[in-house]
Amino acid sequence: MSFVIAIDGPAASGKGTLARRLAAHYSLPHLDTGLLYRATACALLEEGLRLDDVESAVAAARSLSLTDFDEKRLRARDMGEAASVVAAMPAVRAALVDMQRGFAARPEGAVLDGRDIGTVICPDAKVKIFVTAAPETRATRRALELARAGEEADYTAILEDVKKRDARDSARSAAPLKAAADAVTLDTSDLDIEEAFAAARGIVEKAR
């Protein structure tokens, strides 16, 4: 397999920022796979459909074009929650596999981040990093991020959200959130972004 960096971890662990920074550093294309699930949920909600409508969710996932969606809307808090509902459906996950693997198969390599990149989408990735942080740290980061974006950011509600999403993502039977056996775990609880980026680069250099 070409130079694929698989980054997984729970909500607001810092995996997205690390994935973006690593992609820029190594001049690789980057796919934030969470956006695929967010966009699938968004497509259903915009059409007034239920999130547990499997048939419509699969159809939406199959015909997905990320450029059709406003990224700010996709990244809103309620969409993360909605995404985790559609992401628990095996048929939705199956509908998104080829697109993700196609992205990973680019000749120059790629960086993908999500929940199941190292375990399901790219089990042969050269580098696998599992990014974690304490739920309280993640909630604080997410609150800051939302406040900066001008969104409502109540810490207690966000912490509850983070814990609920962790539980749903970890407990589902289809591709649950877990580190691949050969992933290196990077706990960013006590690291700032520069320290986390340096640690991630160190993991990549060692594995490539």
38 makes contact with ligand C5P (CB under 6 A) = yes
33 makes contact with ligand C5P (CB under 6 A) = yes
Binder among 14, 114, 118, 135 for ligand C5P (CB under 6 A): 114
Site size for ligand C5P (CB under 6 A): 14
Amino acid at 137: T
Distance CA 47, CA 88 (A): 20
Q: How far is the CB of 3 from ligand C5P (least distance, A)?
A: 19
Distance CA 16, CA 194 (A): 14
Contact region with ligand C5P (CB under 6 A), list: 48-56, 64-72, 113-121, 184-192 = 113-121
Binder among 4, 6, 7, 11 for ligand C5P (CB under 6 A): 11
118 makes contact with ligand C5P (CB under 6 A) = no
Contacts of residue 61, defined as CB under 8 A and 6 or more positions apart, other chains included, come to 36, 40, 86, 92, 95, 96
In DSSP terms, 131 is beta-bridged to: 186
| Closest residue by Cα to residue 188 from 75, 25, 5, 19 | 19
Q: How far is the CB of 115 from ligand C5P (least distance, A)?
A: 4
60 makes contact with ligand C5P (CB under 6 A) = no
Contact region with ligand C5P (CB under 6 A), list: 64-72, 79-87, 146-154, 184-192 = 79-87
Are 32 and 69 within 8 A, CB to CB?
A: no
Task: Pick out residues in 132-191 that bind ligand C5P (CB under 6 A).
Answer: 165, 169
Q: How far is the CB of 17 from ligand C5P (least distance, A)?
A: 12
Q: How far is the CB of 160 from ligand C5P (least distance, A)?
A: 14
| Closest residue by Cα to residue 46 from 12, 11, 78 | 78
84 makes contact with ligand C5P (CB under 6 A) = yes
> Counting every residue, how long is the chain?
208
Instruction: Encode burial over 55-67: b for 16+ CB neighbours within 10 A, e otherwise.
Output: ebbbbbbeebeee
Could you list the residues that contact ligand C5P (CB under 6 A)?
A: 11, 33-34, 37-38, 80, 83-84, 87, 114-116, 165, 169
